[in-house]
Structure 1
Amino acid sequence: MKQLVYFGIEQAKACLFPVTIFLTLAITRMIDIPFIARYDFILLICLVTQVLMVIFKVETWDEVKVICVFHIIGLSLEIYKVHMGSWSYPESAYSKVFGVPLYSGFMYASVASYMCQAWRRLNLKLEHFPPNWLVFLLSIGIYFNFYTHHYIVDVRWILKLATFIIFFKTFVYFTVNEREYKMPLSLSFLLIGFFIWIAENIATFFGAWRYPNQQAHWELVHIGKISSWFLLVIISFLIVALLKHFKESRSPHPINKMGTNKIS
């Protein structure tokens, strides 16, 4: 139980950015902010939070670069999905682009922020990480399937199966209070996807966006969305992992425990 408490504390610290977004969504849902549209105010809070996290060294510049990449990836996906009618942002704002408020990109970026924070705080290491080219192709396939499944066959189940095969031997090591633990990397994807699904229910309850079945009144987000988040988590995790791998390859003293391909 003591180790679980330590683990929970470190996880909470890693969730600083997502928690800020959720608090802002909740507060602006209950209180009308004068002189500024709700979506614009949320964007302002996200920008200020990001700047403060850099100033107070909660995040490094390398981590901010990863977050910016995922912000662009997420915003592009949002614009496309809103255009296809998958969900909507009904409130008006000056910061909306093609019907999508710019703060939505920060919701995706907050996932990357959590990844970076957790990686550093829990001293994550990956053992038997697959070849970079294979990881890159998997990420590209997952991302473009979010676009192409509207027109051609949805291959997400094939991509999930490929993920379990590719990462079958890959384990993630993490340290809690100087004790090291490990779990299959695919299991960590699934667990993170599940908790993001819970967060998605909270976000839609506070009006971050609406699915078609939530237009009249709020309903629980379909449990099948966990699979979508499972795949999206893979993309964000692999972006961070590839950055870590690239930095280690440039290091004069790379960490390589017990002769295995272990990325720290």
Structure 2
Amino acid sequence: MHVTTPVSYLAQLCRELTDFTWRQTRACAYAIALLAGVAASTALPSLPLARYDLLVVYGILLTLTFWRCGWETGRDVAVIAACHVIGLVFELVKVHLGSWSYPEPAVLKIGGVPLYGGFLYSAVASYVCRAWHLFDLRLTRYRRWPTAGVAALIYVNFFTHHWLPDARWPLAAMLLAVTAGTTVSYRVRGDRRRMPLALSFLLIGFFLWLAENLATYSGAWRYPHQLQGWEPVAPAKIGAWTLLISVTFVLATIGRLRPPRSPRSP
């Protein structure tokens, strides 16, 4: 009879936490590489190619590298490309309305938005796709179409709240309602753990807020209050990212509830 002592339980917990952290780091490989490239680009000497344009090339090469190395499948790349386009549309509207800006010059720039801006959303999509493989994610009681409908309304509200009443809180309540009872299970060291899907959105939103602080500090973009010098991004953005991640998640689940094959891992 196996008796679990407090010491053995703590040791097992530490092993699981280490494995979980390592898998999360691998899932974030694209985002880490992208943010590292943005940070490194600030230290480059003056070049004929604008920094924003150089980051477009870097983002494309990064995506191709992950695909060619087998770390992401063709379907993953399709999801990443879709999120890139959706992100660019989002950026075009928000920059036009003055929510934030890309102050540096570039050739590959449309409406004040450099094309590399979409890669920031691609990084989020890459994380979701790689987490799906690395953690063998499975959904229980997932309401596909209601969740997709609320996610679409959330995306639209990020635009319309500039002219219409902001429906952020009602939409957050709707998201909680359609995901009530939905759990996402994941594998760590051979054991399956689970958590509410809504909680996973909140946790991802928190870490995206941390990444946003790093990105703005590196000059990836600037909010109006950061134009005269960097200041932290308001914690309220955690809520915005928590809602926005639902859009990426819905796209990532299309035809994926059981992936046909697992990509190789770096």
State the TM-score, normalized to the length of structure 1: 0.91
**CA RMSD between the two structures:** 1.2
| Counterpart pick for 1:229 among 220, 238, 241 | 241
The answer to whether residue 133 in structure 2 is matched with residue 120 in structure 1 is yes
The answer to whether residue 242 in structure 2 is matched with residue 209 in structure 1 is no
The answer to whether residue 180 in structure 2 is matched with residue 168 in structure 1 is yes
The answer to whether residue 32 in structure 2 is matched with residue 19 in structure 1 is yes
CA distance in 1 between counterparts of 2:27 and 2:164 reads: 38
Q: Does the residue aligned with 2:47 lie in a helix, a strand or coil?
A: coil
Partner of 1:73: 86
Partner of 2:150: 138
Partner of 1:191: 203
Partner of 1:255: none
| Counterpart pick for 1:46 among 41, 59, 66 | 59
CA distance in 1 between counterparts of 2:121 and 2:242 reads: 13
Deviation string, structure 1 residues 101-120 (Cα, Å, up to 9, x no partner): 00010100110000000011
**Displacement after TM superposition at 1:28 (Å):** 1.1
Instruction: Give the aligned length.
Output: 247
| Counterpart pick for 2:161 among 149, 157, 163 | 149
CA distance in 1 between counterparts of 2:45 and 2:98 reads: 28
CA distance in 2 between counterparts of 1:163 and 1:221 reads: 24
**Displacement after TM superposition at 1:166 (Å):** 1.0
CA distance in 2 between counterparts of 1:213 and 1:162 reads: 32
**Displacement after TM superposition at 1:35 (Å):** 1.9
The answer to whether residue 113 in structure 2 is matched with residue 100 in structure 1 is yes
What amino acid is the match of 2:158? F
CA distance in 2 between counterparts of 1:229 and 1:108 reads: 11
Q: Does the residue aligned with 1:31 lie in a helix, a strand or coil?
A: coil
Query: Where in structure 1 are there 5+ consecutive unaligned residues?
Result: 252-264
Q: Is the 8 A contact 2:79 2:251 kept in 1?
A: yes
Partner of 1:260: none
CA distance in 2 between counterparts of 1:5 and 1:17 reads: 20
Deviation string, structure 1 residues 51-106 (Cα, Å, up to 9, x no partner): 11111111100110111111110000000000000000000011111100000101
Partner of 2:124: 111
State the TM-score, normalized to the length of structure 2: 0.90
Deviation string, structure 1 residues 130-178 (Cα, Å, up to 9, x no partner): 1x32122112101100110000000011111111111110001000111
CA distance in 2 between counterparts of 1:234 and 1:136 reads: 8
Matching of residues 241-252 of structure 1 within 5 Å: 241-245=253-257
What amino acid is the match of 1:211? Y
Partner of 1:29: 42
Deviation string, structure 1 residues 201-229 (Cα, Å, up to 9, x no partner): 00000000000000101001011111110
**Displacement after TM superposition at 1:241 (Å):** 1.7
Q: Does the residue aligned with 1:197 lie in a helix, a strand or coil?
A: helix
What amino acid is the match of 1:201? N
CA distance in 1 between counterparts of 2:155 and 2:214 reads: 24
Q: Does the residue aligned with 1:13 lie in a helix, a strand or coil?
A: helix
What amino acid is the match of 1:60? T
Query: Where in structure 2 are there 5+ consecutive unaligned residues?
Result: 1-13, 261-266
Q: Is the 8 A contact 2:147 2:175 kept in 1?
A: no
**Displacement after TM superposition at 1:33 (Å):** 4.9
Partner of 2:20: 7
Deviation string, structure 1 residues 16-46 (Cα, Å, up to 9, x no partner): 1111111111111123252211101111111
Partner of 1:55: 68
